Structure 1
Amino acid sequence: MPAAERVIENPVSGERIVIRTAAAETDGKLMEWDLFLAPGGRVPSSHCHPGQVETFTVLEGRLRFRIGLRRVIAGPGDQVRVAANTVHHFANAGRETVHVAVRTEPALNMEELLATAAALGRNQVAAGRRLPHLIDLALFVRDFAAEVRAPVLPPSLVAAALQPVVRLARRFGWDRRYRRARDSGAGRR
């Protein structure tokens, strides 16, 4: 599927993502995407990207950011840049869908991360769960450690805590649900 037609929808966060420029088109240097965030929509948790810079340009609506300790409300025409390794969170600050152009540099596996998160979100909604399965979350954090990390805990501590969970999940086949979600999110069957 051409990048311009790649749409990712996450029912948990209220995100609709349209990939405009995929990593493969830029030798991994960047990914450009449109984010449509429904009223009440928000990124699921505070996070940071260890080696990526994100630039958000609000096209329609209002987006509320928390960047480190700073709070920002961005409206049409406003641009917000989040440096690598900076803890941030964002949410729709209005009653209408917000439309934001996002640029992620370098791209790394951000498209696969977004698609996997959306597939896990669909599973979560279908199962009627308020929270994701902990094993799915552990595998997700491990698989996308280069793209995203928890805001407070040292990465080495997170990796050490996840290692036995990942090992047990593989050994007993508890990772099947996650693998199916990741494969479906990536468009693989």
Structure 2
Amino acid sequence: MDIIILDTGCANLSSVKFAIKRLGYNPIITNEYKTVLHAEKIILPGVGTPFAAMSNLKKYKLIDIILNYTKPILGICLGMQLFCAYSEESKNIKNLNIIKYPILSLPKNNLPLPHIGWNKVYSCKKNVLFRNIMDGSRFYFLHQYMLPINKYSILKTDYGCFFSAAFQKKNFFGIQFHPEKSGPLGSQLLKNFLEI
């Protein structure tokens, strides 16, 4: 199976690759158009800004591939946020607009920002991504912007307010936390995605 990790030029790619290799797969890190075009699964990880990531997706001519992709695709952290309409972090940049909701700043509510560390996630609706994972399980977060809960939300978490920890729209899956840094449960989630 051709599993592609999209190289946006601003993501922490190695840890995602190693997490998938531990599951017995051989993912390829690339931004090469023809290789991505034939992927069976795509993972869009993200560390950085929407401006940098969207600029590189445009530069490598990957935007149309993503928008027209019909097989499972997973956005992680910034990758998830890129699936939304726009982000308050880069207000003048249009994101991929897979779901027409904005990414907003996390409210302070007397909590330190960014939101760093382990936090519990809760199911909004049953989903294959969370198979064999107990409700209330902890995953590792590192972010300062969030997707409000909406009709596509499948997981939520609380850090000063409840927000989407994961969503699904058709073949597009997005998760705000980092499964590659979330131990055995993160591995289970990646396994669930790869077996869709």
TM-score by shorter chain over 0.5:
no
When Rg is computed on C-alpha atoms for both structures, the one with the higher figure is 1
The two structures have a TM-score, normalised by structure 1, of 0.27
Give the number of the structure with larger relative contact order, counting CA–CA contacts within 8 Å between residues 6 or more apart: 1
